[in-house]
Chains A and B, each alone.
Chain A
């Protein structure tokens, strides 16, 4: 029998985390949350979540970092905006969940089986190099770096897509490709300068 404390102590909080979430771009209104639960009620994924959106709002503004960043909810959220448009206090719930997801990725806290960092890397490399995404190549590159077996498992679908002409192999590119690099480098430079 494993015994676990079910009530959180003040000392479990991380005040820095609480400060960070209340100052994230778009998330400033989190302190106005009434804990009414409309967001959770409207969320199509809340039935699968360990902490519903309402609970995440409260846990994160109080600084319960471990619980929040370890929660399955940030990976379940599909950014459907049902919570956000129904919030009586106009809190950007979806954007707050994005912020939590970014933070979890930064701190490398995601379930092992997720290809999220690989996907993000391949996606950004492709945008930097070509300016556009060619879906067929993106999927191929992600699978080659994660699981070749899953690629084979998906081959039935791949073939159907090829047959119906929905998997063009031709690489999509913009003409002024040098602009992508300049644009992205400039973002990185300004980000550093403003420390955002």
Chain B
């Protein structure tokens, strides 16, 4: 089966490494994906918080476009994943919203039949491919690299059903299949502050700091994320958060970068050079011989 692929705007900007590495993982595992034809912005949190109706219409154009040729959509970005799912729920539950969406789509010659399922790559890799199949294809074992798996909010809450909403384990199972170790990380689903760093910096920096220092304290050599905003916050403001509290130096990668590396993809093809906290020394220390 071919999945529809919905990258969203962040994966074309600050989150480029997420897309580069995820597509490498899909290629290595023979997961076939096809980008949704002429997809548009999902509306993200900005529209959701000021004008929800518009965000449902924007999201439904993507759903309708995907539905023409596919029965499942892969949405890696946390905001896109949430908005697409929320839109489906609200169209089902509220006749007024359904009417708004139906008419808006009608104006551009599209129809939405509620036949397409929105899924996260973690879900697809774990449940459709499986850790066993992944382990069989590992070329560069991660040699016990100690990872703090960080999920953040919107992948596990409130709509997803593939994992626990407070203590998920999908990322652990995938990374352990590649030879990594995961550390105890009770803050794994605590919010990174989203765009709080922009509006209320003192609060945003607090949240960022506690996530980082908890990971470091528990022995993590790397933090892995599933969301472009989490990755951006934890990495880009690590220095600033450290200046306010006490310094930390933990590289923050997308989970897909480590999977791709283990499956044999070359480092510069999966965005490892795009990080701010160098990852090279960590890999050297673990004798991970990547290409």
Binding site for B on A (CB under 8 A): 25-26, 44-45, 48, 75-76, 78-82, 84-86, 94, 98, 101-102, 105, 114-116, 119-120, 123-124, 127, 131-136, 157, 160-161, 164-168, 172, 174-176, 179-180, 182-187, 189-191, 194, 196
Contacts and interface: CB of A to CB of B under 8 A. Distances in A.
B248 interface: no
B276 A134 contact: no
Nearest to B237: A157
A87 B274 CA distance: 40
Given A44-B207, A75-B199, A101 B40 contact: no
23 contacts: A25-B52, A44-B191, A78-B194, A79-B45, A79-B49, A79-B153, A79-B194, A80-B157, A82-B189, A98-B52, A101-B50, A102-B51, A114-B199, A115-B199, A116-B50, A124-B46, A131-B40, A132-B41, A166-B17, A186-B106, A187-B53, A189-B103, A190-B104
A85 B158 CA distance: 6
Interface in B4-36: 9-10, 12-17
A79 B43 CA distance: 15
Contacts of A127: 40-41, 43, 47, 58
Nearest to B108: A179
Contacts of B105: 183
B189 to A, nearest CB: 8
Nearest to A142: B198
Given A78-B194, A84-B158, A184-B54, A135 B40 contact: no
Given A164-B276, A166-B16, 14 more contacts: A44-B191, A78-B191, A79-B153, A80-B154, A81-B158, A105-B50, A123-B44, A124-B47, A135-B10, A161-B236, A176-B108, A182-B108, A184-B57, A186-B57
B127 interface: no
A141 B58 CA distance: 22
B153 A80 contact: yes
A189 B103 CA distance: 10
A123 B240 CA distance: 27
A123 B44 CA distance: 10
Interface size on B, as a range, is 35 or more
Contacts of B153: 78-82
Give 8 nearest A-B pairs by CB, closest first: A80-B191, A80-B153, A81-B157, A135-B13, A78-B194, A133-B9, A131-B40, A186-B107
Interface in B145-168: 152-154, 157-158, 165-166
B97 interface: yes
B41 A131 contact: yes
Contacts of A105: 50
A98 to B, nearest CB: 6
B11 to A, nearest CB: 11
A92 B17 CA distance: 34
Contacts of B290: none
Contacts of A165: 16, 274
A187 B43 CA distance: 14
B57 A183 contact: yes
Interface string B176-215: 0000000000000111011110111001000100000000
Nearest to B157: A81
B100 interface: yes
Contacts of A196: 53, 96, 100
Given A80-B153, A81-B153, A187-B54, A98 B49 contact: yes
B275 interface: yes
